[in-house]
Every structure is written in structure tokens, then in C-alpha cells.
């Protein structure tokens, strides 16, 4: 069975590099990144790698153009009140976003082991809810989430709401992916058994 890894919020490829390790036997990686600055770096880095597809948009709840604040930094976000710790250059750029459930429906067609990493600076809960609402989340083998909603007063409540929803639905394949040991949880879930 094919093993596919989706990196939502690819930035400059930190997690893609990790997922490419031979021990994980990932067949295909999709890197989603709306920032033109980060895209340039990703395309240079992976243009010759047949296992990596870099997509020039982010995933969200609808297909649209949105202002990306702190574009090009590790704190690039669609949220105006996002409190980043990366000390970015203040920059706002219109960027393309695609509805997550539409992309899944159109691109994840065959049966596969699907791994999903979301580090998208406050949009992660909306993306998971979009996938749950549409039934597309059922395709996910294991998801890793960095609850960046904590850094924005306007959406901080969404973490608790999502956790309660997942509990009610008895979904336990979404793992917290935060802090300096973030890749340890990935090793335990990505390793081929």
C-alpha cells in the first residue's frame, strides 16, 4: 500500500527532510506552502526529487486568496492577532488557499496510508473541522497537529472545541506535534511495522 505524507505548512522543508528518511518508506510527499518566499526555497531544494510535490497554496476551509501576515517567516499566518515568537519581517502578501476537503476529494483517491502534518499558524483546527465535516478525514491514517491557535486570542478557543469533537467522534489518530521533541511522536507513528 502506498504511503503518502502531507505537509500542511511546509515552510522551508524541515519536516519534508525528516519524512524523507529511508526508515519511513514514504512513497510521496505533498508540501503545501502559500508563501512565495518559502516556495522559492522549497522548489530549489526539491525540484529534482520525484518523491516530493510542492504545491503553491495553503489548505483552508475554502478556495480563495487571503492576506498572509509575516509572509516568508516561520510565523506566516492568516490571523492578524497572531503572536509569533520568530521575530519576522512585517510583511503582508495575498496568497492562494484551497479548500482542504476539495483537495482531498480530488487527489486522495486510491487506498493508501495517509499521514498529515499541520503546522499552519492558527488555521489547523479549521482545516481538521473541514475534513471532518466532509468525511474526508476518514482517509487519514495518522495526523500530527501543532496547536498554533494558542497564539491568537481570536481562535484560541478552537483547540478545546476540536479536542471535544474528536473525543465525541471517538477519533484518536490526531497527535499533538509541538516543542523540541516534536519529531519523536512522528518516529513512533511513521516507522514501518
Express each pLDDT in 95-136 by its tens digit.
789 999 999 999 998 899 999 998 877 678 899 999 999 999
Residue 53: its pLDDT value, please?
Answer: 98
Q: Quote the Cα angle for 146-122-97, to 5°.
A: 110
In a domain, 91, yes or no: no
In a domain, 88, yes or no: no
Domain of residue 23: give its range.
Answer: 3-61+97-190
In a domain, 78, yes or no: no
**48-67 pLDDT tens trace:** 999 999 999 999 999 988 87
In a domain, 44, yes or no: yes
Alpha carbons 89 and 150: distance in angstroms, whole number: 21
In a domain, 18, yes or no: yes
**171: buried, middle or exposed (CB in 10 Å: 19+, 13-18, 0-12)?**
middle
Element (H, E) at 67: strand 64-69
CATH number of the domain residue 168 falls in: 3.40.50
- What is this structure's pTM? 0.87
Split into its structural domains, the chain has a count of 1
Amino acid at each position: 500500500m502506498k504511503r503518502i505524507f502531507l505537509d500542511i505548512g511546509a515552510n522551508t522543508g524541515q519536516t519534508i527532510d525528516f519524512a524523507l528518511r529511508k526508515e519511513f518508506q514514504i512513497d510521496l510527499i505533498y508540501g503545501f506552502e502559500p508563501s512565495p518566499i518559502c516556495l522559492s526555497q522549497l522548489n530549489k531544494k526539491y525540484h529534482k526529487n520525484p518523491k516530493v510535490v510542492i504545491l503553491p497554496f495553503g489548505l483552508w476551509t475554502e478556495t480563495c486568496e487571503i492576506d498572509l501576515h509575516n509572509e516568508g517567516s516561520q510565523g506566516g499566518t492568516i490571523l492578524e492577532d497572531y503572536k509569533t515568537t520568530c521575530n519576522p519581517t512585517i510583511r503582508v502578501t495575498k496568497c492562494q488557499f484551497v479548500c482542504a476537503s476539495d483537495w482531498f476529494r480530488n487527489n486522495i483517491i486510491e487506498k493508501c496510508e495517509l499521514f498529515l502534518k499541520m503546522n499552519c499558524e492558527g488555521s489547523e483546527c479549521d482545516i481538521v473541522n473541514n475534513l471532518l465535516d466532509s468525511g474526508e478525514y476518514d482517509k487519514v491514517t495518522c495526523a500530527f497537529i501543532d496547536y498554533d491557535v494558542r497564539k491568537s486570542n481570536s481562535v484560541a478557543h478552537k483547540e478545546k472545541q476540536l479536542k471535544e469533537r474528536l473525543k465525541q467522534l471517538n477519533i484518536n489518530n490526531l497527535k499533538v506535534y509541538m516543542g523540541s521533541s516534536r519529531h519523536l511522536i512522528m518516529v513512533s507513528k511513521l516507522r514501518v511495522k
